[in-house]
Amino acid sequence: MVDNYEEEAKELIRKMHLQHEMMNPHLKAGEIINRQTPEQGLLENTNVSTQNINPSLLKPGPPPTPAPTPGACHQCGILHPPLRQGEKCPIAKVEVTSEKEGKSIDVNKYLVTLRDILVSQISIKQIKDPDKLFKNITLEITKFLEGYNE
């Protein structure tokens, strides 16, 4: 056993390279990417042009939908403790149909934006009692919705 951590790490890396060479015999010996510093780019020394990369490929997309699991919640599709009779799953996607546009609108998208605004304002204004703030917001939203007409 090696007493020096650096020597042990080098030995593990050597073993990893040997294992990689055994599993990928079609690669040349020098094709394993060896980076000494994080400043070296991912495409450095690989004959791949960074100028022809489509920027739309780099944009994050929506998260993947969970795979159906036997015994999973019928509302959200995720395996979690069972809900009480008649209870709505808090993870389930909530949609409202827009008659004007003829499509369904994801309510959670707007609630997440509202959450970010609230958290930001609580921090900026240094609100000491957020519970009181949320109660007032709930009252004001309820009043607004009761008087809302299209």
| First-last CA distance in the chain | 77
Cα(98)–Cα(140) distance, integer angstroms: 24
- pLDDT band (50, 70, 90) for residue 2: very low
Q: Determine how β-strand 103-106 pairs with β-strand 95-98.
A: antiparallel
pLDDT tens digit sequence for 101-149: 778 888 888 888 999 999 999 999 999 999 999 999 999 999 999 999 8
Beta-carbon contacts of 5 under 8 Å, excluding residues fewer than 6 positions away, are none
More confident residue, 83 or 54: 83
Counting beta carbons within 10 angstroms of the beta carbon of residue 118, is it exposed (0 to 12), middle (13 to 18) or buried (19 or more)?
middle
Instruction: List C-alpha distances in Å: 69 to 46, 65, 66, 79, 80.
Output: 41, 12, 8, 7, 11
Task: Compute the average pLDDT of residues 94-98.
Answer: 81
- pLDDT band (50, 70, 90) for residue 82: confident
pLDDT tens digit sequence for 26-56: 665 555 555 445 545 555 555 555 566 666 6
Domain ranges of the chain: 95-146
